[in-house]
Structure 1
């Protein structure tokens, strides 16, 4: 076996289990917290998912302030607003409860607390000068994996482009991962975030920056998600929700320390233009982009099919790879993923500019197959016209 040199490190301590969010106050105390900013959207707060976190902070005698201006595809001005509140309140620890939007917003707030300037000044690859304010991340969906990634994705509201802080110094210090929170998750959110997690697993496995450590995580995540997503959407129980939450976190490690590819490039361009929820934007493009990438490495895509549960015995690599694509299409259909053409606001007249935005994405060079704006335009039109 011949390998390129690579580095693998994980700056986040992961605590997984039922009711683990009740340990928030203790973990915050261990991080030296004297004042916490609790970052969560109004829906998560209204559903009672922050209650055990708040009770835990109170038990430890740690005062906290709530910031709830969280929206899908976090805005730069909300991050700046949260930063101003945190600075005013003398916050020295952040707790994010929710999906990727809450966790990414908290990462950006932490970046501004420790670095100042504007959001845009820190978007790029490893630009941070020091670690951000300590963050405890508590996911309430099985999708983004943001609790363990070194990314924070934020929308520049002037350019309508998604920007990325990509730096291990932005990662959460602690992840408290509780599968029981998924039992109350609406089925359409479980579906979209679940396929988002599958996208992380698939793209981290096939991308150019994959390495043996991340590939192992990727394959295990693919196996977990393929076995549990349908059940978690249709009839969630503790077993399926545990499989999904574990799969999501493991996929987060996989892509957080390798990369993604063209599915995410398209999804982030769609999100920047139409404010499409990220999970849906990824899900609509996963099968078509995976098929496009097969020629770059048919053997690896055949292994992907095997991880998806396809019996590839006796098949050529190309045939096995295509069977994997069909399994992804079936999975998306089974959990009710909409078609791109059915998403509100999507207009084919915008596709050339969306393709150009996708080409400029930081992850485009990591896609296993070379992809240009022309290729992105072809893929977006194919996805739009799929039956």
Structure 2
């Protein structure tokens, strides 16, 4: 049988300082007359939203605003926004925010054109293309502006489901303006940056990687390693901020056509249960899952070590050099003041077993670099919890 690879990417990317001002023009070029902006209340009061609205008003694009976006978007909120979009006959959506706003907008767009409810489209392919969507990321982490899936919380089941389709849920346009990230708090710079790093590392080490995603992942790892600490230490570093935004987008392009693995299975579990922000949740588990996976593909972690710029000492085996990536990420988390598991409200030793079981049952576990069971997850969470 002929071996084939799919690489899904149909989102046009406009990148650079000041491109937020062009959204109104872009809407006119695309034929959008009436749009719904989906963001959160904080960003709705920001200068960035004002720039966006002025751009739309200048080009006579009718625009509405809804701000009920939570850190882990809820299915019921998506349905409520979809009803508003239908009632007002909007012809496009604009997501301004991090992964939560962009994921919520994707789910809204899916319900508007496909009917039913968000939960009914969970973990199944769509029938029709979503409403046209412009994504404007305000953090450098998720890469959601170029991905064709949305992770949405079903609050009744405490379960994160995926609403997605590689053909029908592709954002029309990504407006990547690093100007928006210049004022990003240190905590968000840190957790979102490690989120992007997680995307690249998992994309490179999962079982379904391919040459195109490999190239993107390694470039993303290199750019993040060179720029994340700079952006964290000096939030006004324009070069570092721009490189981090590009790296985040690269990470999204990489993992959406390969996949992610056990780190995300862990993160989705604690995110749905404890409402832990996704970037923080990934950061909690990344180095421990990396260490667990090294025996399955040490040569790939050698490539990652090279991309991180880590020095290889004379006589080092591949496994020893690969382990330097684990120490690098642990040290990076400390430098960035990333929370530990002990810092996360609600997570206690009593619920470790349930976390492990839910993580093992997550579909992402099947693509992890190394076969992983409930017992393995339990050992990893205990190790992470006890690692000071």
Q: Provide the secondary structure at the position in 2 that maps to 1:155.
A: strand
Between 280-289 and 23-32, the greater mean CA deviation after superposition: 23-32
Between 218-227 and 160-169, the greater mean CA deviation after superposition: 160-169
CA-to-aligned-CA distance 1:210-250 (integer Å, 9 cap, x gap): 10000100000000001111111111210110111011010
Question: In 2, are the aligned partners of 1:306 and 1:324 still within 8 Å (CA)?
Answer: no
Instruction: Find the aligned partners of 2:98 and 2:190 in 1 and give their Cα distance.
Output: 14
Question: In 2, are the aligned partners of 1:305 and 1:325 still within 8 Å (CA)?
Answer: no
Would you say 1:48 and 2:47 are equivalent positions? Answer: yes
State the TM-score, normalizing by the size of structure 1.
0.97
Q: Which of 160, 164, 182 does residue 158 from structure 2 map onto? A: 160
Runs ≥4 in structure 1, deviation > 6 angstroms?
Answer: none
Quote how far apart the aligned CAs of 1:64 are.
Answer: 1.0
Instruction: Find the aligned partners of 1:332 and 1:345 in 2 and give their Cα distance.
Output: 21
Question: In 2, are the aligned partners of 1:83 and 1:109 still within 8 Å (CA)?
Answer: yes
After the TM superposition, which residues 214-363 of structure 1 pair with which residues of structure 2 at under 5 Å, given as runs? 214-236=213-235, 237-312=237-312, 314=314, 315-363=316-364
Q: Provide the secondary structure at the position in 2 that maps to 1:170.
A: coil
Quote how far apart the aligned CAs of 1:14 are.
Answer: 0.6
Quote how far apart the aligned CAs of 1:382 are.
Answer: 1.3
State the TM-score, normalizing by the size of structure 2.
0.97
Q: Find the counterpart in structure 2 of residue 70 from structure 1.
A: 69
CA-to-aligned-CA distance 1:119-164 (integer Å, 9 cap, x gap): 1221225x11121000000000000100001110100010010011
Q: Find the counterpart in structure 1 of residue 136 from structure 2.
A: 138
Instruction: Find the aligned partners of 2:269 and 2:226 in 1 and give their Cα distance.
Output: 30
Q: Provide the secondary structure at the position in 2 that maps to 1:294.
A: helix
Instruction: Find the aligned partners of 1:289 and 1:252 in 2 and give their Cα distance.
Output: 20
Instruction: Find the aligned partners of 2:358 and 2:184 in 1 and give their Cα distance.
Output: 32
Would you say 1:194 and 2:193 are equivalent positions? Answer: yes
Number of aligned residue pairs: 384
Instruction: Find the aligned partners of 1:294 and 1:352 in 2 and give their Cα distance.
Output: 24
CA-to-aligned-CA distance 1:6-38 (integer Å, 9 cap, x gap): 111312111101111111112222332121000
After the TM superposition, which residues 118-137 of structure 1 pair with which residues of structure 2 at under 5 Å, given as runs? 118-125=117-124, 127-137=125-135
Between 106-115 and 309-318, the greater mean CA deviation after superposition: 309-318
Quote how far apart the aligned CAs of 1:173 are.
Answer: 0.6
Instruction: Find the aligned partners of 2:179 and 2:385 in 1 and give their Cα distance.
Output: 36
Q: Provide the secondary structure at the position in 2 that maps to 1:208.
A: coil
Structure 1 residue runs of 5 or longer lacking an equivalent are none
Q: Find the counterpart in structure 1 of residue 148 from structure 2.
A: 150
After the TM superposition, which residues 105-116 of structure 1 pair with which residues of structure 2 at under 5 Å, given as runs? 105-116=104-115
Q: Find the counterpart in structure 2 of residue 206 from structure 1.
A: 205
Instruction: Find the aligned partners of 2:50 and 2:361 in 1 and give their Cα distance.
Output: 41
Question: In 1, are the aligned partners of 2:110 and 2:130 still within 8 Å (CA)?
Answer: yes
Instruction: Find the aligned partners of 2:377 and 2:339 in 1 and give their Cα distance.
Output: 20
Instruction: Find the aligned partners of 2:28 and 2:279 in 1 and give their Cα distance.
Output: 34
Between 67-76 and 166-175, the greater mean CA deviation after superposition: 166-175
Instruction: Find the aligned partners of 1:292 and 1:166 in 2 and give their Cα distance.
Output: 29
Quote how far apart the aligned CAs of 1:47 are.
Answer: 2.4
Quote how far apart the aligned CAs of 1:313 are.
Answer: 5.1
Instruction: Find the aligned partners of 2:220 and 2:229 in 1 and give their Cα distance.
Output: 15
Instruction: Find the aligned partners of 1:350 and 1:301 in 2 and give their Cα distance.
Output: 31
What is the root-mean-square deviation of aligned Cα atoms in Å?
1.1
Question: In 1, are the aligned partners of 2:8 and 2:256 still within 8 Å (CA)?
Answer: no
Would you say 1:32 and 2:24 are equivalent positions? Answer: no
Question: In 1, are the aligned partners of 2:37 and 2:63 still within 8 Å (CA)?
Answer: yes
Question: In 2, are the aligned partners of 1:31 and 1:134 still within 8 Å (CA)?
Answer: no
